[in-house]
Amino acid sequence: MRISKLFPLNPLLELEVETSDEDLLRFFEIKFADLYPSSTQGSNSRLKVRIQEVPYIDIASPQVIRKIGVPELCLFDEKTFVIVRDKKRIKIPFLEIGQASDLDITFETGFPVDWLRRYLDGLVAFHLIGKGASLYHAACVKRGECEIIIPAWRGTGKTTLALYLLEDRSSAYKAEDQFVLKGTGESYAYTDACHIDFKHMDQFPAIKRKCRSLDLALRTAVVRTVLPLIPPRGRVLTIAHRGLLKVLAPKVFIKLRDCIPDLQISTRQPARRIVLQLIAQRDVVEPVIEPIDVGTLVRRTVGGMQYEREEFYIMYCAFVYATGRRNCVIDNAVERETQILCKALERAACYEVRIGDNWPENFGHITQFLQKYLLRKGEDR
């Protein structure tokens, strides 16, 4: 039996999923359900994404085939490309990204759920850039009238810090990994699913209990053993480090309300913002918090921390090479997104936060700094 379900993500985005796969629908419910209680209308930049499951995708002719890594294979025609993963296909109308208001994605039954999630995030990110917004790779919580934004590389601790701030119930959730930030300053939640790194799970027993499995234990053991041997120093080791994390590191999505039943999602816009960019350095004994100018912070973020989109750049380059068709939004995505974020954060207080491996001390130090900052701004806890 086919099921169609609508997920209103925020005033800019709406997702409609049609599938007969209950596990897939459950995944979307974990990732997107309950962000906003009803359909959201009325925004010029709103996007409706329809994701439809079909038994088989027929490839149009003529076609050009390009292998982009293993096991991926892309088959292009003039307006779309098809990606093959695990012998299953997904079809994306790539030229519409960033320009259309409605986007139709078709996938074959059995297409890997994790890759569907990655492609969806990338498609939404490029569309938002075309509409003057960024899908910002950062955690975000709202405390009083202040929005606390925490960008960081994967595994650095942005989710851990966000959950720690949410646990005392004085903060409202907007994101633990990505949220929508418009160039005009408005921000919106994107997902209330929790993706926490294995090395931080010990801090949250309620989450750890939900993540018990033999597969998780084996992958965690491999990563714990190998990852310290390739520290992210220099380009080659950094790429290897990130590759190992992406391929082997456990990715567990937990619905936050399962761990924080009275979780509050922030829908109000903040009066002010503070940005804490986390940078992990093993030789740091005590966290170091120093001001940083917004231009440097944004260039660093767009240049590196938005790394999930690299796969789409590779596919796009292959698409252009094969068909000669271009998309003005994606051609200038980095420049556009840099301008969007600089404008959105121009009035924010921006800090670089260098932290070590001692998370209890990191928590205490950062919390004290935030408390002093909020009190200075007249926002007593």
Per-residue confidence of the chain (381 residues) as pLDDT tens digits? Answer: 788 888 888 888 888 899 888 888 888 888 887 787 665 555 556 788 889 999 999 887 778 888 887 778 889 888 888 999 889 999 998 888 888 888 889 999 999 888 888 888 888 898 899 889 999 999 999 998 899 999 988 778 888 888 888 877 778 999 888 999 999 999 999 887 776 666 666 666 666 666 666 666 676 677 777 777 777 677 677 777 767 766 666 556 677 777 777 888 888 899 999 999 998 887 888 889 999 999 999 998 887 767 567 778 788 888 888 888 899 888 888 899 999 999 999 999 999 999 887 877 888 889 889 888 887 765 544
List C-alpha distances in Å: 97 to 124, 127, 224, 249, 319.
8, 5, 39, 30, 14
CB-neighbour burial class of residue 248 (10 A; exposed 0-12, middle 13-18, buried 19+)? middle
β-sheet bridge partners, residue 188 = 180
Dihedral sign, Cα of residue 134, residue 98, residue 310, residue 71:
positive
Q: What is the pLDDT of residue 307?
A: 57
Element (H, E) at 246: helix 234-248
Tokens 């596990």 appear where? 23
Instruction: Answer left, alpha or beta for residue 225, where phi above 0 means left and psi between -120 and 50 means alpha.
Output: alpha
Closest by alpha carbon to 252, among 211, 222, 213?
211
Q: Where are the domains of the chain?
A: 3-199+253-376, 212-248
Q: Is the separation of the CB atoms in 76 and 323 below 8 Å?
A: yes
Q: Are 176 and 162 in contact (CB under 8 A)?
A: yes
Pick from 147, 137, 131, 146: which is nearest to 99 by CA?
131
CA atoms of 270 and 377, how far apart (whole Å): 13
In angstroms, the Cα distances linking 141 to 79, 165, 178, 183, 205 are 39, 8, 11, 19, 21
Tell me the β-bridge partners of 278. Answer: 353
Q: Model pTM?
A: 0.84
Paired sense of beta strands 193-195 and 102-108, if any: unpaired
What pLDDT, on a 0 to 100 scale, did the predictor assign at position 220?
67
